[in-house]
Amino acid sequence: MVENKRWYPLYHVAAPVGWINDPNGFCTYKGQYHLFYQYHPYSPQWGPMHWGHVVSKDLVHWEHLPIALKPTEPYEKEGCFSGSAIERDGKLYLIYTGNAEVQTQNLAVSDDGINFEKSPDNPIIKAPESDEIRGADFRDPTVWEHDGKFYSVIASKVHGGDFRDPKVWEHDGKYYAVIGSKTTDGSHGQALIYESDDLKNWTFKSIAARAKENEGTMWECPNFAKIGGQDVLIISPMGVNPVGNKFLNAVDSGYMIGKINYKDGIFTRGALDLLDYGTDFYAPQLTQLADGRCVMIGWFAMWFADMPEQADGWAGTMTVPRELKIKKGKLFSVPIEELESLRLDGVTHSKLTITEPTKLDGVEGTTGELIVDVNLAKSDDFSISVRAGEDEQTLLTYDKATSTFAVDRTNSGEGPKDKREVQLSPANTLKIRAFIDRSSVEVFLNGGEYVFSMRIYPKETSQGIIFASRDGKLILNEVSFYKLAEGIPQPEGSQPDRQIAS
């Protein structure tokens, strides 16, 4: 049972109790949005993976459904790992990884989107033998060069133990699945493509892309999507070393923009770039909506991080859904417009000159949406504290000399103590949009150009939002704050938020 809901989210997807990690099976089925997740219902620690399940009509109000998959078969005896979902002929197909001595891909099908039957033909995909991949492997540009050497077919085979997280999509009447893997020598992550006419019989097509220098030793949770006429590959690579302010976490997710050639299955692409600058974002999954938008949800936590909510009987949430757009050759993550339907009371303050720490009427809370439009040209260094209390606060700061924006949780309360930052291009204004939700803050800058997803663990009484100029003034064009409605059922037996007496 969730013992205490001090950190339990109001509108981010979380499990009713227990541990969650990756989003899985994010799809539209019979007009509703389904989201599954890696789930260990019996404790707030990772354990044999099940698939938890929520459903929504609008992507922001979610209902819990019964557990969709449990590890019952020998081929998944160590868990039903990540995978994806697709609708075909009125049925919902889940394609997921069975974790056992080797990893294989498996199928479960449902007529009602609630009860799933595993295919008697499982596993439906096994790691390819070297003979099978030889052809694709020698095709340019999957042969790669490193330090003046070309790598041989031996180093290019697929590692049977790390072969997981199938993401399925349809293109021109055929089904494709991209699967995460690495070379047999464990040195390079790679994404494999399979194809099928019926979702049941699959053939290996290609190694679509492989890690170049410092692009990871294993690629988890690959996703292909069409965004603004371009193909985008999103991966969750292990083993990428930090580069400046990027890739600082135990693991981080990234993207590459390019073009898939459906004839040979090769993805020609640009370099890997970071998707989220925060401390807690991994294994995102994408889905393409009927209206053409490509929406992403990520796991809002981090492997190996301290998770104080485990003391309350649960661990991990999902991020808010984000629409992906390509602008200026980069991938932007924009909170989906449906999130505005969660807004309750709101206040707006305009044209403010801040010279000393200032609270604004109606701008505070343990949850809510904060929108700030800063006149950067006329402002000096500044900070905005959220979840501020007597002895703690999470700081959003801007340093004018270096154009550096940071989210700092060294004094946020319990949990990890660190900060993340990004250097902004010079501009006259800065638009900050922050979603605050009991144990998290998600900060979007300039319409999704940069995002910081950060978990924080303040006291319930720390509800303040304080605007401050460090030495001089902070000019705010506009500040809005909205209280937000419940988006995920609250755990039973929990108490309503304690409000500060004003």
Question: What is the spatial distance between Cα 442 and Cα 355, in angstroms, rounded to a whole number?
Answer: 26
81 binds ligand FRU (CB under 6 A): yes
38 binds ligand FRU (CB under 6 A): yes
H/E stretch holding 345 reads strand 343-354
Residue 337, phi then psi, degrees to nearest 5: -65, -25
Which of residues 2, 49, 260, 296 is near ligand FRU by CB under 6 A?
Answer: 49
40 binds ligand FRU (CB under 6 A): no
253 binds ligand FRU (CB under 6 A): no
Question: What is the spatial distance between Cα 121 and Cα 96, in angstroms, rounded to a whole number?
Answer: 14
Question: What is the spatial distance between Cα 247 and Cα 241, in angstroms, rounded to a whole number?
Answer: 7
* Residue with token string 């070309």: 150
168 binds ligand FRU (CB under 6 A): no
- 121 catalytically annotated: no
Nearer to ligand FRU, 105 or 480 (CB): 105
Q: How far is the CB of 299 from ligand FRU (least distance, A)?
A: 7
Please name the amino acid found at residue 373: D
* Residue with token string 């790679």: 190
Closest CA to 83 of 244, 194, 214: 194
22 binds ligand FRU (CB under 6 A): yes
CA distances to 66, 83, 115, 287, 450 from 32, rounded to whole Å, are 16, 19, 16, 13, 30
User: How far is Cα of residue 159 from the mean position of the Cα atoms in its chain?
Assistant: 25
165 binds ligand FRU (CB under 6 A): yes
Nearer to ligand FRU, 279 or 383 (CB): 279
Binding to ligand FRU in span 95-124, by CB under 6 A: 97
Nearer to ligand FRU, 219 or 444 (CB): 219
Which of residues 125, 168, 221, 233 is near ligand FRU by CB under 6 A?
Answer: 221
DSSP 314: E
Query: Prior bond to 141 cis, omega within 30?
Result: yes
324 binds ligand FRU (CB under 6 A): no
Catalytic residue among 22, 162, 252, 437: 22
Which of residues 76, 137, 215, 220 is near ligand FRU by CB under 6 A?
Answer: 220
Which of residues 157, 164, 182, 205 is near ligand FRU by CB under 6 A?
Answer: 164
Q: Which residues are identified as catalytic? A: 22
* Site residues, ligand FRU (CB under 6 A): 21-22, 38, 49, 81-82, 97, 164-165, 220-221, 282-283
